[in-house]
Structure 1
């Protein structure tokens, strides 16, 4: 696969935008990266089914870098709920391994694209509706957070996102302030990324038809250029998140997710 200067510039631009959105919205950039990398891999003549899987895996790999960069900025604002991180993380690890080592390799890329669009669209509609949670609702107990973490890790592993599309609405539903939910979601992105990337590499090593410069399901050129640029803008997004009003932040989050959900639904249905 020839890496043209134009492709490198596209990957760098994608990284800059994804990093900013990761810091701003706590979504790890995956909601933007999966559709865009699917498009770029398809343009490199990669089979559509494999392109979706590699986009998901590569997106997740970049989240390991953007999450570290954005969480530092959020931590300086005192917004990360580390108590929630510690209770959700064990379930996230278990759910992520189950997804990336099992279900991910069994499902077709077209079905993964459709699943991506449905979960993202559902999360966006809930956020856009801005329904107020019951004022007495709180985060569940340790067992409940273990189960919630397992669901977040599993869904993240299937769609290549840092979990923010599930964890942010879930925490807001449990009366966690939106800025703390975004910051905590950014912190959760790191364990989600590490465990899923391990699964993507192991399950993808024997897959035929992968492009040059790939490691398992991960497309290394995209990982290098996107990650290098995203860490530059993730702190800027995190800083902006603490300057925007809550309602505006929710609408930005929902608008972004709805557009990308529609694109991936179209891609999935076309390939099914």
Structure 2
């Protein structure tokens, strides 16, 4: 893709801008992190543009992680000001999450794009099932388990999230609420976890992608700079629109639609890899 024409570059830029718009609206509608939307949209967009299958998912994941550096910082700061970040938990948990991120990012940098796609597809199905089947307020225990289970959970959140190119919300929020965390504190703490995932995850995506053939133009490692520049302002601008729409629509129906979207996306990605 290094020799794309001017027209193709324009198509790429327009598609990336549209990705940011869609991610922002969905994030505002449902209060989820943009990564869970950005990655599959980038995956299918790059596939349609003929990006090499060997690097397709790596670029989608790396670019998504880079966008979280900006959107996650803004979100974490806002939650911090509202006092909804559990600082004590982060002080005890950050290193386990970071260790999981380092392991997951290193693994992601050394496996095939098909493996990354399969990981995303399977976890998307699990998240979809959780949204569809778990009753509101249902919990497993009154608090997080003690060591070393708590640290293991943190490592899994960090490792799986960085391999999927998502922040802390998709796995962090359901995990914390499963252990009776109030939803606002779970969302705020997960926003901070997103930064713990995105910072090393982005750096390692850049490192492992340096010099790899078949990447789209203007890519730094596995981070596409065009996508990074266009997705952030588009998603930031349209997120309030999504939040506004959410007040006019039944949230339970929105949750159902998004769960079905995730389920379909997960199944499609698994199908792409297996067949």
Given the two structures, how large is their TM-score scaled by the length of structure 1? 0.84
* 1:118 corresponds to which of 112, 122, 145: 122
Sort the Cα spacing of 1:271 and 1:195 in 2 relative to 1 into closer, same or farther, 3 A.
Answer: same
Unpaired runs of 5+ residues, structure 2, are none
Deviation sequence 1:87-127 (CA, Å, 0-9, x none): 332112111111112x1133222222122121122122123
CA distance in 1, matches of 2:69, 2:158: 14
2:16–2:230 Cα contact (<8 Å) kept: yes
Matched, 1:166 2:171: yes
Match of 2:258 in 1: 256
Sort the Cα spacing of 1:75 and 1:17 in 2 relative to 1 into closer, same or farther, 3 A.
Answer: farther
Matched, 1:139 2:115: no
Partner SS, residue 49 of structure 1? coil
Distance apart, 1:253 and its partner CA? 4.8
Partner SS, residue 48 of structure 1? coil
1:73–1:239 Cα contact (<8 Å) kept: no
CA distance in 1, matches of 2:119, 2:68: 20
What pairs with 1:42-121 in structure 2 (closer than 5 Å)? 42-101=47-106, 103-121=107-125
CA distance in 1, matches of 2:84, 2:245: 13
Deviation sequence 1:171-192 (CA, Å, 0-9, x none): 0110012232222212211110
2:85–2:188 Cα contact (<8 Å) kept: yes
Distance apart, 1:40 and its partner CA? 1.7
* 1:266 corresponds to which of 223, 246, 268: 268
Moved more, 45-54 or 226-235: 226-235
CA distance in 1, matches of 2:270, 2:129: 20
Matched, 1:128 2:116: no
CA distance in 2, matches of 1:142, 1:236: 42
Sort the Cα spacing of 1:252 and 1:84 in 2 relative to 1 into closer, same or farther, 3 A.
Answer: farther
CA distance in 1, matches of 2:57, 2:66: 14
Deviation sequence 1:48-106 (CA, Å, 0-9, x none): 231112111111111111111222333343322222333332112111111112x1133
CA distance in 1, matches of 2:244, 2:179: 24
